[in-house]
Amino acid sequence: MRDPNLYFSRSVDIEILFLINIFRFLPLRLLTKLLIDKGIYTKYQAVARSVNRLEKLGLIRFKFYADHSKIIFLSRNGARLLSQARGIPEDSINCPDRLSGVNLGAIEHTLKVADLYYLFFTECQKFGFELIQYRGDNSIRYPYEFQMQKRGGGGTFTIRRIVAPDAEIKIRNKENILKTFFVEYDRGTEFSKDVAEKYQKYFELYFLTDYDKRDEFPSILFIAENTMQRIKNLIPYEGSLTNFGDYDLRDKNNVVLKGVFMNQIREHDYQYYYKQFLKDANKFLFIEYSNLKANGFNAKWLNYNQQEKTLINE
């Protein structure tokens, strides 16, 4: 097979490779919708011809999934070409190369996140908003570290962790206000303690963020595939934040509050920062996927106090 560096690739080919890279695995049906909605193509047949040509060139691969949908992912040659065309480090490109040995549950999760992209993309078009950025899972990593005191004194040791949202979204509304969101997509398979650990890491990342950038910390969207009752069980109302003391979060069942208490930084100003982190309950929003899909940006989300809120004001 020829090295992809030796043949000319049109800009539209690079755009296709880039879209696939966002998600690692992308259904052909969704790729087709995106290319047509973006105005890159006008006919489904034209998309099919380009995709088939990229496969013959060895830049992408296909796999049929459970519902017989065709899943596309990058080959090593495709990753190399995309790296050179867009200046992206090759080792950061999502290139599974083949599907053998890949967890099918992980693929299903990735496909759901890809569907979310299309939902946000079409809603932004409908409301006249601008979707500045959407990064899918497998491509978002925020590593951080901090020092912990050893028990009984005797020095410190380093804890290293990674915040890895399922997606990161940046949307600009009509008033030119940029909103950034982290997305957690929940399939209903995790215990509440596992969900709380996500908010523990978000708080630790917030705490370690530069002081002048904390006000820009993204809102955290929790989208549940299961029932609304699961959401309400995860975020029972626990009382006013102003009444909480240093350790009043210890016995909370609300996953946001529990997660903050679980953090392991606990410096002298911990109480001040957890209150700063939690003071805007609307930065922690929860919704059932079917509700979001049916109502788009008109859907009502619940904040961690179970108060209703729309996602973006016009």
Long-range contacts (CB closer than 8 Å, 24 or more residues apart) made by 298-305 = 301/221, 302/231, 302/232, 302/235, 304/235, 304/254, 304/256, 304/257, 304/278, 305/235, 305/237, 305/281
Both 97 and 232 in one domain: the answer is: no
Task: Report strand pairing: 219-224 vs 284-288.
Answer: parallel
Give me the sign of the Cα torsion angle 10, 14, 17, 23: negative
Secondary structure of 177-210 in HEC code, one letter for each residue: CEEEEEEEEECCCCCHHHHHHHHHHHHHHHHHCC
Both 45 and 156 in one domain: the answer is: no
Both 255 and 127 in one domain: the answer is: yes
Tell whether 79 is covered by a domain. yes
293 vs 185: CA distance, rounded Å: 13
Both 67 and 116 in one domain: the answer is: no
Tell whether 171 is covered by a domain. yes
Both 218 and 267 in one domain: the answer is: yes
The domain boundary, picked from 102, 128, 151, lies at 102
The domain boundary, picked from 57, 77, 102, lies at 102
What burial letters (b/e) apply to 67-78, b meaning 16+ CB within 10 Å?
eeeebbbbbbbb
Tell whether 34 is covered by a domain. yes
73 vs 63: CA distance, rounded Å: 8
For the chain of 314 residues, list the mean pLDDT of each consecutive stretch of 10: 49 88 83 86 89 91 74 88 87 67 66 86 92 80 86 78 93 90 89 94 93 92 89 88 61 90 78 87 94 94 94 75
Are 48 and 72 contacting, i.e. CB atoms less than 8 angstroms apart? no
Number of domains in the chain: 2
The predicted structure's pLDDT at residue 67: 62
Both 113 and 97 in one domain: the answer is: no
Both 195 and 257 in one domain: the answer is: yes
Both 94 and 172 in one domain: the answer is: no
Both 55 and 96 in one domain: the answer is: yes
Both 198 and 291 in one domain: the answer is: yes
The predicted structure's pLDDT at residue 6: 39
Tell whether 228 is covered by a domain. yes
Are 70 and 31 contacting, i.e. CB atoms less than 8 angstroms apart? no
Are 136 and 167 contacting, i.e. CB atoms less than 8 angstroms apart? yes
Query: Residue 88 belongs to a domain with what CATH number?
Result: 1.10.10.10
The domain boundary, picked from 48, 80, 102, lies at 102
The predicted structure's pLDDT at residue 112: 82
Tell whether 254 is covered by a domain. yes
The predicted structure's pLDDT at residue 1: 45
Both 137 and 80 in one domain: the answer is: no
Secondary structure of the chain in HEC code, one letter for each residue: CCCHHHCCCCHHHHHHHHHHHHHCCEEHHHHHHHHHHCCCCCCHHHHHHHHHHHHHCCCEEEEECCCCCEEEEECHHHHHHHHHHHCCCHHHCCCCCCCCCCCHHHHHHHHHHHHHHHHHHHHHHHHCCEEEEEEECCCCCEEEEEEEECCCCCCEEEEEEEECCCEEEEEECCCCCEEEEEEEEECCCCCHHHHHHHHHHHHHHHHHCCHHHHHHCCEEEEEECCCHHHHHHHCCCCCCHHHCCCCCCCCCCCHHHHHHHHCCCCCCCHHHHHHHHHCCHHHEEEEEHHHHHHHHHHCCEEECCCCEECCCCC
Both 117 and 34 in one domain: the answer is: no
Question: Would the pTM of this model clear 0.85, i.e. be above it?
Answer: no
Tell whether 122 is covered by a domain. yes
Tell whether 139 is covered by a domain. yes
Residue 265 belongs to domain spanning:
108-309
Tell whether 314 is covered by a domain. no
